[in-house]
C-alpha cells in the first residue's frame, strides 16, 4: 500500500465546497487518490508527536495491529487450518471496512457524552476489574471481562483449556492496545468490532473465490488455487465461527443481531447473484454453466416465499418496467453483498458509543450509501481497468453472466440486449456484443453518475457528526471511492 509521506508533508488546504481537508498534491490526481486516502485514513488512528497538527495522523496504530489481533482470534490446533485462515490477511488488502469502523468510532467520540444516552458507554480499560460500562445491565455478567469467555473454556474447547492449542483460552486484548484506544477515543469494543468486520468480509472472499472460480486475489493466487476448494470453504466457515465468538463477547444483543444479519445478507446476496429471478422466473430450475438442473419440488412442510423481485413473464410488462425491476434487483443484491456489512458495522459502532437514535440511523445510512457507491464503482472498474491494477481478474462480470450497472444502462437504450442478459451471455459473441453496447450507450459514464449520487448521500449523512479530523478523513475517503482505480 502507498505511504502517505508526500501527502503528509505537502501543504494542506481546506476546500470551501466540500469542507474536506485535501492536500494540494492530490486534489487533481484522480487515479491515485483512493490508495492515498486509505493510507491517510489509516494514519488517522494514532496521534504522532511529530505531526500532531496534521489531520491525517489518527488511526494508524489500530490498523497496524489489525492482522496481529485477528491472528490471535483465529489460531486453531491445526497448523494447516491456521495457514489457510490467515492467508488473505497476509496480503496488502484495502481494509476499508475496519478502517471505516475505526474512523467513525473516533468521530463519534467527539459527540459530548451528555448527548450519548442510549446506553451507558464504556469508560474503563477492559482489562481492569471495574464493572464494564458499555453493556446494558440486562446483558452484564458479574465479575467477567467483556472479552473473556462467558461459558467455561472446557465447554468451548471440548478439551481441557490449553494456551498452546486454542486461542479461546488466550487474553483477547493487551494493555498496549487499550492505552492506544484511550488516547484516540475509540472504545475497546469498537476496535474489536472492526476486527470482527474484517473477519466476516475475508470469510466471504474465501467463499466467493470458490463460487466464482477465481484464480487470483490481492495480486496472488486465490485461496481455492493456493490450497483447495474444500480447504478454502472450511477456512471461511472457521473465520465466521471465530467472528461469532468474538461478537458474542461484546455482550450487546443489538450488535450481535445486526452483525449476524449481515452474515446472512452475504449469503442472500450471493444467491440473488447465482439465481437472478428477474430473468429466470422458473423457481424450479437452476441454470449454471450452460446447464439446467431441476430442483426437488417442495413438500409444503416449509412454506416457500416467492421473491418480491420475481417477474412471472417478461411478455406481460413493458421494457421500461423490466429494466426498472432489473435495477431494483441489482441494487438490492449490491446492498446484501457489499453495503450490508458496511452499514451494519457502522450502525453497531454508533450503538456501542451510546449515540442517540438519529445519529445511529445516520451512521447506518452512511455505511449503506458508501457501500453501494463502493460496489457500483467496483462494477464499473471491471469494464475500465486491468487485472494488474485490480489484483483480481478484470472483465470477469460478463464472463460470469452478471448484468451489473454498465450493461443494465446499455440495455435500457438497447432492448435487444435482453435475451443476452437472460441467457447470462453464454453464447459465442455475447460478451463482445455486450461490451460494445456498453461503449455505444455510455454505460460506464452513467454508472459513474449513479455512484456519485450515493457518494453525495453518504457525505450528507456524515454531517450529523461534529466537525473533526476524523470526520474530514471519512469525507476524504468517501470522495476517493469514486476516483480509485482498484
What's this model's pTM, rounded to 2 decimal places? 0.80
Q: What is the pLDDT of residue 171?
A: 46
Nearest to 323 by CA among 388, 414, 240: 414
Q: What is the pLDDT of residue 202?
A: 95
Query: Which grid coordinates belong to 257?
Result: 443481531
Nearest to 378 by CA among 222, 455, 218, 485: 485
Q: What is the pLDDT of residue 358?
A: 95
Q: What is the pLDDT of residue 69?
A: 84
Strands 291-294 and 285-288, bridge-based pairing: antiparallel
Q: What is the pLDDT of residue 2?
A: 35
Q: What domains appear along the chain, each with residue ranges and CATH number?
A: 5-285+316-483 (1.10.600.10)
Over the chain (486 residues), what is each successive 10-residue block's mean pLDDT? 35 37 38 64 53 50 80 81 90 85 94 83 41 43 53 61 48 57 80 94 95 87 94 96 91 93 94 73 67 79 64 67 91 95 97 94 97 96 76 74 94 94 90 95 96 98 95 91 84
Amino acid at each position: 500500500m502507498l505511504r502517505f509521506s508526500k501527502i503528509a508533508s505537502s501543504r494542506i488546504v481546506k476546500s470551501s465546497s466540500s469542507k474536506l481537508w485535501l492536500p494540494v498534491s492530490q486534489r487533481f490526481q484522480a487515479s491515485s487518490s483512493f490508495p492515498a486516502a486509505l493510507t491517510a485514513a489509516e494514519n488517522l488512528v494514532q496521534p504522532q508527536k511529530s505531526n500532531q497538527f496534521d489531520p491525517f495522523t489518527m488511526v494508524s496504530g489500530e490498523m497496524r495491529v489489525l492482522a496481529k489481533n485477528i491472528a490471535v482470534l483465529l489460531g486453531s490446533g491445526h497448523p494447516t487450518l491456521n495457514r489457510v485462515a490467515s492467508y488473505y490477511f497476509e496480503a496488502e488488502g484495502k481494509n476499508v471496512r475496519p478502517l471505516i469502523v475505526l474512523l467513525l468510532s473516533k468521530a463519534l467520540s467527539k459527540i459530548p457524552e451528555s448527548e450519548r444516552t442510549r446506553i451507558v458507554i464504556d469508560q474503563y480499560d477492559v482489562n481492569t476489574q471495574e464493572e464494564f460500562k458499555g453493556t446494558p445491565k440486562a446483558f452484564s455478567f458479574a465479575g467477567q471481562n467483556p472479552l473473556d469467555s462467558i461459558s467455561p473454556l472446557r465447554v468451548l474447547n471440548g478439551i481441557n483449556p490449553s494456551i498452546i492449542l486454542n486461542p479461546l483460552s488466550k487474553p483477547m486484548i493487551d494493555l498496549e492496545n487499550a492505552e492506544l484506544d484511550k488516547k484516540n477515543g475509540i472504545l475497546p469494543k469498537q476496535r474489536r468490532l472492526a476486527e470482527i468486520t474484517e473477519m466476516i468480509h475475508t470469510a466471504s472472499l474465501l467463499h466467493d473465490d470458490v463460487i466464482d472460480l477465481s484464480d487470483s486475489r490481492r495480486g496472488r493466487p486465490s485461496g481455492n488455487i493456493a490450497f483447495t476448494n474444500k480447504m478454502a470453504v472450511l477456512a471461511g466457515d472457521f473465520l465466521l465461527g471465530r467472528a461469532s465468538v468474538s461478537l458474542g463477547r461484546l455482550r450487546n444483543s443489538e450488535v450481535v443481531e445486526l452483525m449476524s444479519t449481515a452474515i446472512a445478507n452475504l449469503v442472500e446476496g450471493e444467491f440473488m447473484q447465482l439465481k437472478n429471478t428477474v430473468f429466470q422466473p422458473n423457481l424450479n430450475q437452476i441454470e449454471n454453466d450452460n446447464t439446467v438442473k431441476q430442483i426437488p419440488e417442495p413438500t409444503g412442510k416449509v412454506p416457500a416465499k416467492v421473491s418480491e423481485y420475481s417477474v412471472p413473464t417478461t411478455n406481460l410488462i413493458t421494457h421500461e418496467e423490466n429494466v426498472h425491476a432489473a435495477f431494483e434487483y441489482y441494487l438490492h443484491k449490491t446492498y446484501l453483498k457489499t453495503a450490508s456489512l458496511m452499514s451494519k458495522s457502522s450502525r453497531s459502532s454508533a450503538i456501542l458509543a451510546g449515540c442517540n437514535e438519529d445519529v445511529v440511523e445516520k451512521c447506518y445510512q452512511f455505511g449503506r450509501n458508501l457501500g453501494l457507491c463502493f460496489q457500483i464503482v467496483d462494477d464499473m472498474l471491471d469494464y475500465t481497468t486491468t487485472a494488474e491494477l485490480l489484483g483480481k481478474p478484470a472483465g470477469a462480470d460478463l464472463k460470469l453472466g452478471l448484468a451489473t450497472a454498465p450493461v443494465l444502462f446499455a440495455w435500457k437504450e438497447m432492448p435487444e440486449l435482453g435475451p443476452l442478459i437472460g441467457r447470462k451471455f453464454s453464447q459465442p459473441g455475447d460478451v463482445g456484443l455486450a461490451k460494445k453496447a456498453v461503449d455505444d450507450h455510455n454505460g460506464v459514464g452513467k454508472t459513474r453518475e449513479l455512484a456519485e449520487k450515493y457518494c453525495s448521500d453518504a457525505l450528507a449523512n456524515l454531517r450529523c457528526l461534529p466537525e473533526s479530523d476524523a470526520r474530514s478523513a471519512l469525507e476524504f475517503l468517501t470522495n476517493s471511492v469514486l476516483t480509485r482505480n482498484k
